Amino acid sequence: MQQGLNKGLTHALNVNGYSFQYAILKAAKACLEAKKSPWVFEVSEFPVTVNEIPIHIDFILRNKHEPFFFIGECKRADPALSNWCFVKSPYVSRKISTGERIVRETINADPKIILVVNDPKISLDWIERCPDIYRLAFEVRSNEKGESKGRGQINEAITQALRGMNGLIDFFVKHFIANATFPLMKYQGKWLRASFMPVIFTTAKLWVSDVDLSTANLKDGNIDVSAVKLEPKSWVLYHYAQSPSIKHPVKHLEKSEELSDILYLDYTRTIPIVSSEGLDSFLSSPLWNEPDNWHSYC
């Protein structure tokens, strides 16, 4: 009986992904202690609500240099569909011609002004333009036996990560309104700021392709990528235009009538997707080490 219980518990833990989640946190702690990473573990299984939908964030990491938070979502890939392949979109916006910007969402608030007048507002920060940002993702079969999870794992992880981020932003705003400050703030100034980015950590193998989708045959709509080389990646930057149903209700500082701007300001968010092998490389990336590198989106 004991053997059967152990086998059942092993299966339950692996299927639910808790073991993978805490293994990621242990590895992140080791990376911090080795002074390679600025990311400090803050909390796990943090409950938030967005648009009346309650969820638990797998874990939150805080950047030790500034109030910048990674909202971590862990995803054990079905072994049968453990190749995640990413492709660029050749047409995103009329204004994008030299690569998309890496963006994060930021709350801004002034604690010295009457709170009724000065509700916190949202802005979008960007760090640099990057030619290697992907907008299309596909789960491709491997030679492994599956766990009957089916397709849709990537979209499920993205939706959960974005709900977690939006729920945490909503929590920070309500905390500010009640307390005139943000949680975990280490400094006080004229303006208080807190920045957020959703991140997916996965057991999947990540691949990218530079195929130009606009070269598809107009007669049948098909494209042949058999001659295109797939390149393995330890982590990728993915852009996703979140739907209004999972977005927080906080007002944005910037307003625009241009669809190209609205696509970014209101909807598009950068979501790093990180493989198990890429954890140290991602957490220690120079992108996250200099707070002054980030600029207000305009």
Residue of 108, 104, 131 lying closest to 210 (CA atoms): 131
* pTM of structure: 0.90
How far CA 84 is from CA of 36, 80, 119, 123, 242, in Å, comes to: 27, 11, 41, 31, 20
- One-letter amino acid at 54 equals P
Query: What is the structure's pLDDT at 115?
Result: 46
207 beta partners: 85, 232
149, 135, 6, 11: which is closest to 75 by C-alpha?
149
**Taking a C-beta distance cutoff of 8 angstroms, is the pair 285, 111 a contact?**
no
Residues 6+ apart with CB under 8 A from 143: none
List the chain residues with pLDDT less than 50: 114-117, 298
pLDDT value of position 147: 66
Evaluate whether 291 touches 195 at the Cβ level (below 8 Å): no
Nearby residues of 82 by Cβ (< 8 Å), 6 or more positions away = 142, 144, 203, 204, 205
- C-alpha 177, offset from chain centre: 26
Q: What are phi and psi of 106, to 5 degrees?
A: -130, 135
CA distance 74 to 35: 23
